[in-house]
């Protein structure tokens, strides 16, 4: 058993690690496997250009920013930036949160397990 979450925050998964006997290694391998089941959250939004916060000068891809929505504040990493160029207008759209793994990345993680 790992973690101390209770109620709706608690998640359970059965992982077969019967080939590991060392308790320390068992805990590390268990945590590594549990990390593949973590909750992925991401949101998209438009950036309102403020004179003292310029794109590519004050903030860029990979930075952690504070998001505000309906009085709720969250710190999230910028994981995606889309620049839209129109006639007399440039719009910057950003994606925030955890990177959602692609199908290829999920298949790669499954096939990289050691053969026993």
Same domain? 35 vs 74: no
What confidence tier does 9 reach under pLDDT thresholds 50, 70, 90? confident
pLDDT recorded at residue 42: 64
Question: Can you give the residue range of the structural domain that contains 18?
Answer: 1-39
Q: How far apart are CA 29 and CA 35, in angstroms?
A: 10
Same structural domain, 114 and 76: yes
**Residue 46: which pLDDT band, with cuts at 50, 70 and 90?**
low
Q: Is there a contact between 68 and 46 (Cβ–Cβ < 8 Å)?
A: no
* Least confident segment among 14-18, 27-31, 47-51, 61-65: 47-51
Instruction: Tell me the average pLDDT across 82-111.
Output: 80
Task: Examine the domain organization and report whether 65 and 113 are in the same domain.
Answer: yes
- pLDDT reported for residue 116: 52
Domain count, the chain: 2
């Amino acid at each position: 058993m790992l973690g101390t979450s209770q109620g709706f925050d608690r998640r359970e998964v059965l992982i077969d690690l019967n080939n590991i006997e060392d308790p320390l290694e068992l805990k590390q391998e268990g945590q590594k496997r549990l990390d593949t089941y973590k909750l992925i959250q991401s949101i998209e939004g438009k950036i309102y250009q403020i004179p003292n916060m310029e794109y590519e000068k004050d903030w860029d891809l990979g930075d952690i920013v504070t998001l505000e929505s309906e009085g709720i504040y969250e710190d999230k990493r910028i994981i995606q930036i889309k620049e839209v160029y129109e006639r007399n207008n440039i719009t910057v759209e950003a994606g925030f949160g955890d990177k959602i793994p692609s199908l290829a990345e999920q298949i790669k993680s499954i096939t990289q397990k050691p053969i026993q």
